[in-house]
Structure 1
């Protein structure tokens, strides 16, 4: 997750305010399963932990065969990432896309409920030009294999949006995203979005209140462009993406939250209390959608475990809901 740059872009654009969400149950709360740690449980123990906690969705960041085997028969909805390292190959070679499907999808589906394939995660720079051709090649390969019900998308970070405040001003910052949005509209696939109010708050705590960022009671913010009222930063960020989809000519493309979370240690604003408030608030809130789009929104929390081998800022190693010994970092309910 290349998150630090997201904060600086969002910080000047988003303003304070907060209001508590009314708890509602969302039917699809998943948790992202990263494996960058040398002390993590076995894949089968991880799947059992998900099931025992009532977590009904998972995201994995590469075709992890042990995890895929452990997921057989679990029924959990899965986001399966291709990994950024194969993006160029998938884009340039239809036969490589076909081989990827034969090796990583066909042996597992439908015993594993692969719902979405993420063609790249927060892809940046010149590699963004490979996203759309890779998506096309994978869709063709899935169709040829009789697996066309699996939706192909890409997972983007918030800096793909410019003019994010007020939300109604949201627009895609670069043309490649307009093309991707229109392609998603043609295939019926959602846009996978990584949404992190934490980094926006950390980048501008003067103008963004902690309560607004963590679903706590406070003031409300009205968008003069669409007349809607916002009670938390998450909704504002999501609806800025909705506005960008509309401006791109893809108003009906759904948004699936492929990552969102808050660290419990390691930096400014990172505490057990804030992490609990954000993640529980997220679970309780997304069942009713955003001011712009009502209805339950599929959401995947980042992440299942604290991962001690993640690089970068210390917060990166403290996004977990659980310690590697499977004990919760804080009390949280998923349903």
Structure 2
């Protein structure tokens, strides 16, 4: 009986271990096509300073797999395309599995195997290789079953979006007729039977580069835009990334695979390119990847699958100088080979400092990153974020690629706005595929890039538009007008999901940093801090964390309840549970904060103040002067009465 209980406990621990690291949907592709890359041990130490939870490799490099031993990263081992034919044989597949997987378990958390890359519709695809893909996957799966690892490790095969013949609108997504029945149905059958994920390489950058005239850059970069309505579902899309994934989901549904999970094996934007690559810039790369991290972390899923977590692997970890093609191919990295960041994408852990170990000669000089940022990323304004909304401006000229990002000062600058929305485009109705028809002859033409037309103007409701949090752009943009001064009323997030939210200090934040942020919130930030003054209703508990939480929440509720209103240089976090109801003696928010209703505005002076606060045309400086004047008048009247 005791042995049975111990076995059950071991199984539960293994299940918990298997699931704990998968909660983080952000991963990165670790390529090695460079002659100046650091050793794997240094790579692992760098990744430990980030919030990345998953790493995808392109081969079974022994040194890399050993370096990840004892870490919490979920590793996906890649199998190069040229090795696929040899793995059709079950004996060879079992031998490969023992040599490249079993050898490193359980110290290295190998949780996935990626068979090939874009085998069905890539630049190196061919009919013979495509015909061997699923048989090789079956042999590898048989090896996992033999080794009793089939529940721990999942097999997939990343594919290009060139497998689609129709990609817009998303509900019309359809796979190419020459691939649908002959290649994709067997692949999806395997993934469904093994409960694996259909991984796709989704690059809005490619769509924009192929058709910049008809594709909106703002739509590709997750910037505010008019969005697009899918006439088939009436869903509104505010970014191309979500539209791409839903096009694949629709295509799978047409082949009668509506429940196969979808993931993103590659996505990214290069930061440097040839002079002819106008769409490539440091600014665009930073905006895309930073907003991608926020989108995946804060609002998982797509309109067609709003509750599904989408595991997404950013391409790539390093700039790789041996890759062929245009200069952009060698500049997708988040980090330079010396370990310095190419730009900040919001994945560094709080307090992390990435410093290059040695001098590095590069057209992009490395700059140590000392600003700890975690999702959601803050936008960097050039003046207090509660200031009077200025007139909209068009997208500014991107900064010089060779220059490093400017340091972010506190308080951070206001994000830029995007220019006028794109003109509407008329889309022809799609032709539905015939699922029951016999498969067409397999011819495998050259890869096609799916077309993503420019979205017509329409209100955006899914997800809420994100302001670009770029530390190198200082042009102001319109902001949400401040709300009434009561700081305790729970609000709903800007995404509009209806749940009350609060802004509170991080429990593990440094006291000195909290004190500085508290001073900003109660001073220049205009938060209502009377209740945490000596004798105030929320003075106790008298500690900097509780006082900072009260001030942060006041500022957050007053100034739009946007994610950048709750950052305070990475010392604050949005809470979805009522902090005043915590059972600890040092509750983060005073109990009266969320229990008292907003005080009604009964006097003409109060009504005038309320009108001024709701007006987006009155400067915050006038509001503060008027507020101080009103308090002085009230204080004088109270002193006369007393």
Q: Does TM, normalized by the shorter one, top 0.5?
A: yes
Question: What secondary structure sits across from 1:118 in the alignment?
Answer: strand
Report whether the alignment pairs 1:125 with 2:126: yes
Match of 1:199 among 199, 206, 214: 206
**What corresponds to 1:188 in structure 2?**
195
1:305 & 1:315 partners in 2: Cα distance? 13
**What corresponds to 1:167 in structure 2?**
170
Measured after TM superposition, the shift of residue 109 of structure 1 is 2.1
Question: What secondary structure sits across from 2:116 in the alignment?
Answer: strand
> What runs of 5+ residues in structure 2 fail to find an aligned partner?
1-22, 120-124, 348-374, 376-642
CA contact (8 A) 1:87 1:120 kept: yes
Match of 1:294 among 286, 303, 306: 306
**What corresponds to 1:331 in structure 2?**
344
Question: What secondary structure sits across from 1:115 in the alignment?
Answer: strand
Match of 1:58 among 47, 55, 59: 55
Report whether the alignment pairs 1:138 with 2:144: no
Deviations 1:228-251 (A, max 9, x none): 111101111111111111112211
**What corresponds to 1:283 in structure 2?**
293
List aligned pairs for 1:1-335, cutoff 5 A. Answer: 27-91=24-88, 93-123=89-119, 124-126=125-127, 127-149=129-151, 150-173=153-176, 174=179, 175=181, 176-266=183-273, 267-287=277-297, 288-295=300-307, 296-334=309-347, 335=375
Question: What secondary structure sits across from 2:158 in the alignment?
Answer: strand
Deviations 1:288-334 (A, max 9, x none): 22111113211110000100000112110000001111100011212
CA contact (8 A) 2:24 2:52 kept: no
Deviations 1:102-140 (A, max 9, x none): 100101122222121111111122211111101100000
CA contact (8 A) 1:117 1:153 kept: yes
1:53 & 1:152 partners in 2: Cα distance? 26
The structure with the largest helix share of the pair is 1
CA contact (8 A) 1:213 1:278 kept: yes
* Number of equivalenced pairs: 309
The structure with the largest strand share of the pair is 1
Question: What secondary structure sits across from 2:156 in the alignment?
Answer: strand
Q: Which has the larger radius of gyration?
A: 2
CA contact (8 A) 2:290 2:345 kept: yes
CA contact (8 A) 1:182 1:248 kept: no
2:105 & 2:174 partners in 1: Cα distance? 36
2:103 & 2:335 partners in 1: Cα distance? 30
Question: What secondary structure sits across from 1:270 in the alignment?
Answer: coil
Question: What secondary structure sits across from 1:192 in the alignment?
Answer: strand
Question: What secondary structure sits across from 1:30 in the alignment?
Answer: strand
TM-score by length of 2: 0.47
Question: What secondary structure sits across from 2:44 in the alignment?
Answer: helix
2:113 & 2:174 partners in 1: Cα distance? 25
CA contact (8 A) 1:172 1:178 kept: no
TM-score by length of 1: 0.90
Question: What secondary structure sits across from 1:191 in the alignment?
Answer: strand
Measured after TM superposition, the shift of residue 40 of structure 1 is 0.6
Measured after TM superposition, the shift of residue 195 of structure 1 is 0.5
1:225 & 1:182 partners in 2: Cα distance? 26
Measured after TM superposition, the shift of residue 27 of structure 1 is 2.2
CA contact (8 A) 1:182 1:249 kept: no
1:250 & 1:231 partners in 2: Cα distance? 26
1:180 & 1:231 partners in 2: Cα distance? 31
What is the CA RMSD across the aligned residues, in angstroms? 1.1
1:324 & 1:217 partners in 2: Cα distance? 33
Question: What secondary structure sits across from 1:293 in the alignment?
Answer: coil
Question: What secondary structure sits across from 2:84 in the alignment?
Answer: helix
Question: What secondary structure sits across from 1:40 in the alignment?
Answer: coil
1:120 & 1:54 partners in 2: Cα distance? 27
Measured after TM superposition, the shift of residue 268 of structure 1 is 2.7
**What corresponds to 1:14 in structure 2?**
none
Measured after TM superposition, the shift of residue 202 of structure 1 is 0.4
CA contact (8 A) 1:305 1:320 kept: yes
Report 1 or 2 for greater relative contact order, CA contacts < 8 Å, sequence distance ≥ 6. Answer: 1
> What runs of 5+ residues in structure 1 fail to find an aligned partner?
1-25
Runs of 4+ deviating beyond 2 Å: none
1:73 & 1:192 partners in 2: Cα distance? 27
